[in-house]
Amino acid sequence: LLKNWRKIRVSKLDLSFYEELHKRVAQWNCRVGNEIPSELPSQCFALLENQAKRVVEEANEILDGATKRDVNEILDGIVDTLFTLVYAVEIARKMGYDVAGACKAVCDENDTKLSDNYNLVKEEVDKLNEQFGENYCRMSKTVGAKQAFYCIKRNSDGKVLKFSTHKKVDLNDFIPNGY
């Protein structure tokens, strides 16, 4: 698949990369006349809907590339998805959404899908396998610098699952008033 694996250049993704990307996406959209109306939320919803369709279209390029094992299509899809998603984020920000705050809350919520309690996770895995079938999920262990963490992964696709006590993150604080 990847004959020249060792020759692949790895570049560091850091905050300056994201800052530069945001600046370039905003600059490009300004140059092509994609202005975000600041006073009419209904226009922003239509703009956001169209942008979301572009994000999905580009994300499908990643899926197609991965299915076909086409490394160029994968990278093109990743970059185009990121580009279109950054603009969607900018539209949401102009509408008053606190996207950064919501991202932090979701990251904090995702941390609750991990536990250092082996027995707790084992119980959850047993319950889910009883409910959905013997090989529905498994316990996954990751050892960090100082301790082990456990999570539940669905066998079919490796998705990390929530515990039965999981509380969905409340994003209402990050949505602008009036929506």
Q: What is the pLDDT of residues 60-79, one digit of tens each?
A: 999 999 999 999 999 999 99
Q: What confidence score (pLDDT) does residue 150 get?
A: 94
Q: Is the pLDDT of residue 8 over 60?
A: no
- Its pTM stands at 0.78
Residue 6 binned pLDDT confidence (cut-offs 50, 70, 90):
very low
Highest mean pLDDT: which range of 62-66, 147-151, 166-170, 174-178: 62-66
Q: What confidence score (pLDDT) does residue 24 get?
A: 87
Q: What confidence score (pLDDT) does residue 94 get?
A: 87
Length of the chain: 179
DSSP per residue over 108-142, as a string?
Answer: HHHHTT-BS-HHHHHHHHHHHHHHH-TTSEEEEEE
Q: What is the pLDDT of residues 105-148, one digit of tens each?
A: 999 999 999 999 999 999 999 999 999 999 999 999 988 778 89
Give me the chain's average pLDDT, please.
Answer: 88
Phi and psi based region of residue 12 (left: phi greater than 0; alpha: psi -120 to 50; beta: remaining): beta
Mean of the pLDDT values across residues 138-162? 92
Residue 54 binned pLDDT confidence (cut-offs 50, 70, 90):
very high
Q: Is the pLDDT of residue 50 over 70?
A: yes
